[in-house]
Amino acid sequence: DVKVTQSSRYLVKRTGEKVFLECVQDMDHENMFWYRQDPGLGLRLIYFSYDVKMKEKGDIPEGYSVSREKKERFSLILESASTNQTSMYLCASRRDRGGTGELFFGEGSRLTVL
């Protein structure tokens, strides 16, 4: 089974802090994604990556950056956390670049910014 592991299930940070959310997948998938999930808004794509060292902006990239130094790891970075970034963050991976494959999700990281 594919496993997507997010390093922290719950985080509490203060405004202005730098925050790292880590995601690792164990199935050699090429594509990786970061979404945020908010009530009534569904999932919104922040950033995605088709391959190592590649990244592309999603629908809401402002205030975020990403890093993909290794194929299995995709990190989401909040350079200076703000209260409006309090949310559930979901990482996902997909095997193929063609874009039709199933997405596999991690369990989520719930971030609270005070």
Partner 1 sequence: GDSVTQMEGPVTLSEEAFLTINCTYTATGYPSLFWYVQYPGEGLQLLLKATKADDKGSNKGFEATYRKETTSFHLEKGSVQVSDSAVYFCALLTFRSARQLTFGSGTQLTVLP
What's the one-letter identity of residue 94? Answer: R
Work out whether 17 is an interface residue with partner 1 (CB under 8 A).
no
Give 40-63 as a DSSP string: TTEEEEEEEESSTT--EE-S--TT
What's the one-letter identity of residue 35? Answer: Y
Q: Which two tokens stand for residue 52?
A: 């190592």
Work out whether 25 is an interface residue with partner 1 (CB under 8 A).
no
Q: Between residues 53 and 97, which has the closer beta carbon with respect to partner 1?
A: 97
Q: Between residues 90 and 111, which has the closer beta carbon with respect to partner 1?
A: 90
For partner 1, the binding residue among 13, 50, 60, 63 (CB under 8 A) is 50
For partner 1, the binding residue among 11, 43, 60, 77 (CB under 8 A) is 43
Work out whether 40 is an interface residue with partner 1 (CB under 8 A).
yes
Q: Between residues 79 and 107, which has the closer beta carbon with respect to partner 1?
A: 107
Q: Which two tokens stand for residue 1?
A: 């089974």
Burial of residue 42, with CB atoms counted within 10 A of its CB: 0-12 exposed, 13-18 middle, 19 or more buried = exposed
Work out whether 105 is an interface residue with partner 1 (CB under 8 A).
yes
